[in-house]
Structure 1
């Protein structure tokens, strides 16, 4: 009867064995052969973000952030923690041995009061017949790989954030410099109108209008200085330093090499966030295997050897008083569906991991497509802006000469000035 029950358990477990989802994860994405806006790949590829720009100050700032950022140190600690978890899980593949010792006293009418001392070595080892423990080790190893990918993703994200913050600081300083040029230009116009007013060739209203633009430009300087200081503090906080504003970045960095778009399938192996999601899918698959193998019988081996005596020195004898060796089998017969429910839940967690992997991969593809499209549009926009700036400067120069000659009015000159600075900004 017991044999029949065990065979029924094995048959039920075998029938419910699920298949892994990770091997077909990439195929489910329906990846195109190339990006919509991609150009032919170039020969040289940047191996790190710090190799993209010929700017020693920027690269030093990124390296400082990678060395000192507290969030990145936390990510590194999580990666190391995952490594210890692998060791802990893998230890179940080997026997465990415990040493035990006890001492006590007893008293009865026949023997009287006596002391009792004992010492033993106890060993236990579960035979991994079905691969349940090995599947658990595989899950922990995939977790470790995911943590390592998370750490690499954190490094790349921090480097990108630091670069973006640096460029924001450069932009803030450029805008502050532009604001100072605007202030100087409106100051020159104010002085010009004031001289004309004193000569009687300009009205009081024109003088006040010129002074209004000058004072507005002076007020804007305070806001631009605050923006610049805030941008500097962001960089300082990313590098793990006290967030003061004692940092300067006044020039744009130039690309030292071209980064190719590649093909979409390359993204699956080059993006650490996608790799982390894939490793979590592998871990979920392995935990489905663990839950499935938990339906099968387990085969633990136990052994014990020890000695006892009424005198403590008896424990030092070279031979054991007693020993035991036991091989056993434990098979689940009835648990009200607990193990089957855990198997079903593990399968659904694997499906969630697959959906997360697909979502992260598609988001990454979208980021690349967006970047390629934006890059193309920005090149066209830059050309148009440069032409507009040349036209605005030409118009401002001509209008100033006309105003000094008495041909143009003040409003035309102020409008021409505003257009120059608006286009530059």
Structure 2
């Protein structure tokens, strides 16, 4: 009998999940700028930017960000659900005990006789165990396990997104600081040109138009500074929120300007197939597909008979000391079977629902994977093109700088017109400002590529500590609601 039960409890219905689906994936990236060799390690990719403050901000954000804290709580919930589901494989036992005072009356309609009051002591133990004959409970455990794995990948995805956002806003902030400094330097130089032009006007070698244009150009450059300052403040405020602080929580850390983080070394892109394991949103979608597949078997098992073993032991006596006497003990044990006879196709429809949900999960997984490949391709192209653009802008800025120096020197000696100086200074400012923006764009493309490849946090993540630690949870006097 035990062998038969063991064999039956090893049965399972529904499809078995055979791993990630075989999809037609490209063997290499379309961008020629991608490195096709081994993907290498993408963990802590931000260290390649060699900015200690950025690294410190990222570590603090990973500890205190509210979205990450929520993702940790979801993992705890999924683990508790798995533990709760696993209990379904074990028998349940409950016990009851009671003491009641009793008194009865008996007799005819004219004569009533009261019996003496007595106390009745009772105790019992009841147990039940539903045999998992067709693997319904095993399938539910499998689904809960896949849900837990998906939650863990979602936590990793939250960290990947958070790290990328912190790095991007930090780079933008450094970029605006550089643009503010450039505008201030350029405006100061243009004010010098204005004073020189005014001196020449007073000496009769320049016109009032030249003075007005010099003044207007300096004012135009100075007008950019408040715009950049507002954008810088917004980036700093966003960084504060990402670190779980008030908006101005990191303002003191960014009070002093620093260069825009420069790209020190390329990121190893590997091949598209690496996204299946490296990118957490793809891995989470694949785990959800596995979960949906297990739920088909769970629904299918409901169409088959359910067998339970039940048993109970009870005792009752007028004295507590007599409860253990054999004559006071009663017991029962035996199997029970529930057979679905007619439900108008309800259980069959439940299987069709689970199959449709599995198809939806597959479509979501497929779309997530395609989006991931697209993200990498776009980041690779953007990064490679921006590097070329930055090289050309650096060359332009160098030549405009020389042209501005020469035109100003010639203007001071009276060998060049003010228009030449005006045009050279405007072109130099535009080229240098564009170069700063290009450096920021290149760094953000680098960050986008790291996110697209799934690079991020690899250190162990403690999810055991709840956000709120309840106090006074033991039995206590009820207090009015506040």
TM-score > 0.5, shorter chain as reference? yes
Q: 1:257 to 1:325 in 2, by over 3 A?
A: farther
Give matches, 1:117-132, under 5 Å: 117-132=121-136
How many residue pairs match? The answer is: 408
Quote the offset at 1:206 in angstroms: 2.1
3-state SS of paired residue (1:290): helix
Task: Provide, for residues 281-309 of structure 1, a one-character-per-residue CA deviation record: whole Å limited to 9, x for no partner.
Answer: 00000001100011010111111112123
The CA distance in 2 between the partners of 1:286 and 1:357, in whole Å, is: 16
Q: Which residue of 1 aligns with 2:214?
A: 210
Q: Which residue of 1 aligns with 2:331?
A: 323
Indicate which of 162, 176, 183 corresponds to 1:172. Answer: 176
The CA distance in 2 between the partners of 1:272 and 1:178, in whole Å, is: 40
3-state SS of paired residue (1:277): helix
3-state SS of paired residue (1:30): coil
Indicate which of 397, 402, 418 corresponds to 2:405. Answer: 397
Give matches, 1:403-422, under 5 Å: 403-422=411-430
Quick check: 1:76–1:151 contact (8 Å CA) kept in 2? yes
Quote the offset at 1:65 in angstroms: 0.7
Task: Provide, for residues 345-389 of structure 1, a one-character-per-residue CA deviation record: whole Å limited to 9, x for no partner.
Answer: 111111110000001000001111111111221122122212221
Quick check: 1:305–1:320 contact (8 Å CA) kept in 2? no
Task: Provide, for residues 316-366 of structure 1, a one-character-per-residue CA deviation record: whole Å limited to 9, x for no partner.
Answer: 668862111120111111112211111111111111100000010000011
3-state SS of paired residue (2:309): strand
The CA distance in 1 between the partners of 2:377 and 2:370, in whole Å, is: 11
Quick check: 2:296–2:354 contact (8 Å CA) kept in 1? yes
Q: TM-score, normalised on structure 1?
A: 0.90
The CA distance in 2 between the partners of 1:330 and 1:43, in whole Å, is: 55
Quick check: 1:42–1:258 contact (8 Å CA) kept in 2? no
Indicate which of 270, 280, 305 corresponds to 1:272. Answer: 280
Quick check: 1:44–1:257 contact (8 Å CA) kept in 2? no
Q: Are 1:26 and 2:34 counterparts?
A: no
Q: Are 1:64 and 2:60 counterparts?
A: yes
Give matches, 1:12-411, under 5 Å: 19=15, 23=18, 25-27=20-22, 29-37=23-31, 38-41=34-37, 45-110=41-106, 112=115, 113-244=117-248, 245-248=251-254, 250-255=258-263, 257-315=265-323, 321-411=329-419
Quick check: 1:176–1:228 contact (8 Å CA) kept in 2? no
Q: Which runs of 5+ in 1 are unaligned?
A: 1-13
Q: Which runs of 5+ in 2 are unaligned?
A: 1-11, 107-113, 434-482
Q: Which residue of 1 aligns with 2:475?
A: none
3-state SS of paired residue (1:202): coil
Q: Give the root-mean-square deviation of aligned CA atoms.
A: 2.2
Quick check: 2:121–2:323 contact (8 Å CA) kept in 1? yes
Task: Provide, for residues 216-252 of structure 1, a one-character-per-residue CA deviation record: whole Å limited to 9, x for no partner.
Answer: 3223222222222222222222122222132325123
Quote the offset at 1:124 in angstroms: 1.0
3-state SS of paired residue (1:329): strand
Q: Which one has a larger percent helix, Structure 1 or Structure 2?
A: 1
Quick check: 1:187–1:214 contact (8 Å CA) kept in 2? yes
Q: TM-score, normalised on structure 2?
A: 0.80
Quick check: 2:29–2:272 contact (8 Å CA) kept in 1? yes
The CA distance in 2 between the partners of 1:412 and 1:256, in whole Å, is: 38
